[in-house]
Amino acid sequence: MAKEIRLDKYLGEMGQGTRSQIKEMARKGRIYVDGQPEKKPERKIDPAHNQVELDGRIIAYAEYEYYILNKPQGVVSATEDSRYETVVGLILDRKRDDLFPVGRLDIDTEGLLLITNDGDLAHQLLSPKKHVDKVYFARVEGELPSDAKERMKEGLELSDGTITLPADLEILNQGQNGALSEIRLTIREGKFHQVKRMFEVLGCSVVYLKRLSMGSLTLDETLKPGQYRPLTEEEILRLKSHGKERKAEDVG
């Protein structure tokens, strides 16, 4: 049986106004359902079968939305901010007004960010118990110690005493004579400023950071910083099945 919802809830979730505003729209005859004016905002409708129009525009309904964003520097991973532009604000053609970023990237960090309103999926990807791989590319200043890979693999003690989970470090280019090193790091948690703090323990500093992947979702390299696209059905299914697999592992 299809899930029915109130007309005012339908329009509210699609960002068309508050409940009182939608009630006034209905009173003025601005809302149509299946081609007929609808004065009762409390009416139950089936989003899969009823067509809703506001001021002559069809308002399509989406229960969940999923976007992959190549986050640029200078934008904050938040739904709203009084000082900076937000990652959610970059999704210009979103239908829903309850989208949020799954996890956070620092304001000066670039790369993959999932934007959605699917709370269950976000929990599966962010829960420390799930150990979802997050892969980063970084340029690092300072000489990496010879045992950097081993220390990352064992887990590091951060400056506040926090012990990180084992991480995999791949040195792509070992900087010589003061040149920057380029690395790829895979972590399975997301503590505050974690990647930067891990390299500080090694006596280095991260000068550029970009997230390449999260679980099964990989950054679309055709997306320039600030650009985004909806996830494909295949990408959504892979993310959800990854969460289920982790859940089964936890039970086992």
What does the angle CA 52 – CA 53 – CA 55 come to, to the nearest 5 degrees?
160
CA distance 49 to 60: 11
- Per the prediction, the chain carries an average pLDDT of 91
CA distance 17 to 104: 28
**pLDDT tens digits, 231-247:** 999 999 999 886 555 44
Confidence check: pLDDT of 39 > 90: yes
Mean pLDDT of the region 149-178: 92
Mean pLDDT of the region 164-186: 92
Other CB atoms within a 10 A radius of the CB of residue 212 amount to: 16
Mean pLDDT of the region 207-228: 96
Confidence check: pLDDT of 49 > 80: yes
Mean pLDDT of the region 97-125: 94
Q: In what helix (H) or strand (E) does residue 235 lie, and over which residues does it extend?
A: helix 233-251
pLDDT attached to residue 131: 84
**pLDDT tens digits, 50-87:** 999 999 999 999 889 999 999 999 999 999 999 999 99
pLDDT attached to residue 99: 94
Query: Got the DSSP string for 47-105?
Result: TTT--EEETTEE----S--EEEEEEPTT-BSSS--SSS-BTGGG-TT-S-S--EESS--
pLDDT attached to residue 250: 47
Active site residue 98: no
Say which of 106, 133, 168, 220 is annotated catalytic: 106
pLDDT attached to residue 244: 54
Q: Which domains does the chain have, with CATH numbers?
A: 5-58 (3.10.290.10), 66-117+220-251 (3.30.70.580), 133-214 (3.30.70.1560)
What backbone torsions phi and psi does residue 241 show, to the nearest 5 degrees?
-70, -30
Q: What percent of the chain has pLDDT over 70?
A: 95
Confidence check: pLDDT of 8 > 90: yes
2 confidence band (pLDDT: 50, 70, 90): low
CA distance 202 to 16: 51
Mean pLDDT of the region 107-128: 93
CA distance 250 to 18: 42
pLDDT attached to residue 9: 93
Mean pLDDT of the region 34-53: 94
Burial (CB < 10 A; 0-12, 13-18, 19+), residue 213, is middle
Higher pLDDT, 198 or 248: 198
Higher pLDDT, 74 or 131: 74
pLDDT attached to residue 88: 96
Higher pLDDT, 199 or 242: 199
CA distance 137 to 131: 19
pLDDT attached to residue 252: 40
128 confidence band (pLDDT: 50, 70, 90): confident
CB 250 within 8 Å of CB 228:
no
pLDDT attached to residue 97: 85
